[in-house]
Structure 1
Amino acid sequence: MNSVYGSKFLRELLKLSEEELNKTFRKTYGLHYEQNANLFSRLYAELKRYLNTGSVNLDATFNTFFHKLYRKMFQVINIQYSFDEKYLHCIDRLMDVIKPFGDMPNKLTTEMKLAFFATRTFSQSLSIGRSIVENIAEIGPSAECSRSIMQMTYCAHCQGLANLKPCANYCLNVMRKCLLNHRELDSEWNDYVEAILLLTNRLETSFNIESVVNPLAIRISEAIMDFQENSSLISQRLFVSCGKPRIGKRQPKARLTSLEQYKFVRTQVRPATAAGTNIDRLMQEVKRKIKFSKGFWRNLPQTLCLRNQVSGEIVRELAKECWNGTDKVREESSNIAAGIERSVFESSVELGMQNAIISQQIAQLRIITSKLSKAYNGEMEEQKEDRGM
């Protein structure tokens, strides 16, 4: 799931959004867009880099983008004038006062930051969860555990009972002792799963990355239109603060065009959905798969013993003869249930020293669960560079 969500879907989402912006802006703004297309391509490159590494400051990214767009538009709108770098630096300082794009830069930046941070944290959490399971799977059984499993599995052969499977209670007691440290993961794992499930709800609604990336071209165009509609007032305010600019050299007639002739239609068709799916479907898939893993480590002995892994077709043939470690017996369903109850809920067992690897995985679960909770609450933190997606 992580590879699908974290790479293909998000890459396709950004690709489609960028293609939509290119198509729409070429049609609407023509040569003015062509001459400044690199400004938009750099914005998308930074968004991709954030998802890949987490090393991008999205506040700075959008601040730079809108400041450069502001400069370019001011020059195009006032194409009859000539502006040196000192003059442009003056108008830069006044952007936060003039607010040529209205509140769109702040609103868009906040929405993008929340959605991108939550999305990346979510994807990282799936990757870390998978790594934890893989690390635990690498832990070999102790010498005592290996002996117990060998006795449970093969001692019946010595008495000519090669086809006899271990009794459920016997298997459960052996596996429970072998997996004693694994059970310590259960509480932290359940918290981790619950945190993922909570964040998926946010990713379907207020932190939905699709809802901010798909209409990015429309949102930027609305900001441009706000500037266009108030261009005369904006220019006059800047002229008062920075001085009346000097008339530039006479431009060829073909170049004497401004943005006034270009009109962007505010209502646009929503871009195609990325990778043939959508965020809601992906979140439903994650929830369906991960919610069943709650209690996984606590119930691992039953999973191994009662699902034809060690003790045979116990569930389907409850009265079948089985091996209890010393003799051939018949195990009734009531005894199996009682054995499971005692084994699962017994609380007076001395746990002893935790396995070092399991302790490390518990620490990892606590860290990523904390990050998931912060992402759910919209608490963004600086992310270290990595290649998590």
Structure 2
Amino acid sequence: ETFEMLIRLAENYTSTLFCNAYGNMAAEAAVHVQEFFTDVGLFLFGADVSTEEFVNRFFDTLFPVVYNHEINPGPTDISLEYAECLRVARRDIRPFGNVPKKALGQMGRALLPSRTFLQALNLGIEVINTTDHLGFSKDCSRALLRMQYCPHCQGLTLSKPCMGYCLNIIRGCLADAAQVDLHWRGYIQALEELSGAMSGAYDMEHVLLNFHSLVNDALVRARINGAELSEQVNKICGPPVRKPKESPGCSFDQNKGNQGLKMFSRDSEETLANRRKEFIRHLRLYRAFYGGLADQLCGNELAAADGLPCWNGEGVV
């Protein structure tokens, strides 16, 4: 949910840029902005999509819109066929300079670690759910029954098992879970290392929330080099072929999603990076969970406290 909110907020930032600074093309651009951030979400949540493909597709589809409204505006819109020619020619003409390459580098570096982090979290959930339903063997069930209720047969209803006796029984019953311990410790260490690496150029929050700045740089560059770009376009696609104008104005609700602004403010303690660090800090407390489960059960609930009479399997000592 936090990742989804971040993506929506980044999309809102980018759509707001078009409404505020490039209102004449905002409605057309909104479709491509939405598609781009949909692809970002699909990639993060494990879909088989390529960052290179969807970053390039965004700038490919944006170029005809920019050409139509900024580089060579006219009383009518360019035709669909002409727009397709511009889309295909974008990578040769390079109207946005090195901005698409820069965006691709940032997205690739920032999104992949976050995608891996999410996949790792899902794996951890699977491990927990699997071990949560471990069944006890018949021998274990009998041993637990003897440990808990045999004293009752002798009228010792208040006596608890001795610590050593309890640990011996519980460790035997949880032998399968204990085998997870080494892997669980390694899993937490890997999450710590991955989380620590997700900063700077690898900070997805920073990259997504500043994507609109890259888009603005691209549009400014295209506007400045408009005359030169028009010449290049004419050589490749010919003079503009136009159709009746259909471009509506900006219809984006700029207040949409602004409730998330505080959560993702760079000055706020509630940044995604801080939330991730807090999660890792709590997870460290459970590093020895599987290896120490028997000690926790006996120490907290099942066994008698030190110095008190206890049941050792044969009698009270």
Same structural fold, with TM-score higher than 0.5 when normalized by the shorter chain = yes
2:66 counterpart of 1:78: no
Deviation at 1:116, TM superposition (A): 2.4
Deviates more, 1:145-154 or 1:95-104: 95-104
1:60 maps to 53
Q: 1:162 to 1:244 in 2, by over 3 A?
A: closer
2:224 counterpart of 1:232: no
Amino acid in the other structure paired with 1:133: I
1:147-195 residue CA offsets vs partner (Å, 9 max, x unmatched): 1111111111122221111111111111111122222111111111111
2:177 maps to 182
Structure 2 unmatched runs, 5+: 248-260
Q: Measure the CA separation in 2 of the matches of 1:159 and 1:84.
A: 94
Structure 1 unmatched runs, 5+: 1-6, 256-270, 330-389
Equivalent residue runs for 1:151-300 within 5 Å: 151-239=146-234, 241-242=235-236, 245=239, 272-274=262-264, 277-300=270-293
Amino acid in the other structure paired with 1:242: I
1:318-359 residue CA offsets vs partner (Å, 9 max, x unmatched): 211111111212xxxxxxxxxxxxxxxxxxxxxxxxxxxxxx
* Secondary structure, aligned partner of 2:310: strand
2:258 maps to none
Q: Measure the CA separation in 1 of the matches of 2:38 and 2:237.
A: 36
1:350-381 residue CA offsets vs partner (Å, 9 max, x unmatched): xxxxxxxxxxxxxxxxxxxxxxxxxxxxxxxx
Question: Which of these residues, 43, 51, 76, is aligned with residue 50 of structure 1?
Answer: 43
Deviation at 1:198, TM superposition (A): 0.8
Q: Measure the CA separation in 1 of the matches of 2:82 and 2:18.
A: 28
Q: 1:135 to 1:79 in 2, by over 3 A?
A: same
**TM-score normalised according to structure 2 size:** 0.83
1:323 maps to 311
Deviation at 1:142, TM superposition (A): 0.5
Q: 1:248 to 1:166 in 2, by over 3 A?
A: closer
Q: 1:88 to 1:167 in 2, by over 3 A?
A: same
2:108 maps to 113
Q: 1:59 to 1:23 in 2, by over 3 A?
A: same
Question: Which of these residues, 19, 22, 25, is aligned with residue 18 of structure 2?
Answer: 25
Amino acid in the other structure paired with 2:92: V
1:81-110 residue CA offsets vs partner (Å, 9 max, x unmatched): 986666655554543333221221122123
Q: Measure the CA separation in 1 of the matches of 2:237 and 2:154.
A: 104
Q: Measure the CA separation in 1 of the matches of 2:39 and 2:242.
A: 35
Q: 1:206 to 1:133 in 2, by over 3 A?
A: same
**TM-score normalised according to structure 1 size:** 0.69
Question: Which of these residues, 66, 69, 73, is aligned with residue 62 of structure 2?
Answer: 69
Deviation at 1:310, TM superposition (A): 1.1
Q: Measure the CA separation in 2 of the matches of 1:244 and 1:139.
A: 70
* Secondary structure, aligned partner of 2:291: coil
Deviation at 1:272, TM superposition (A): 4.3
| Number of aligned residues | 298
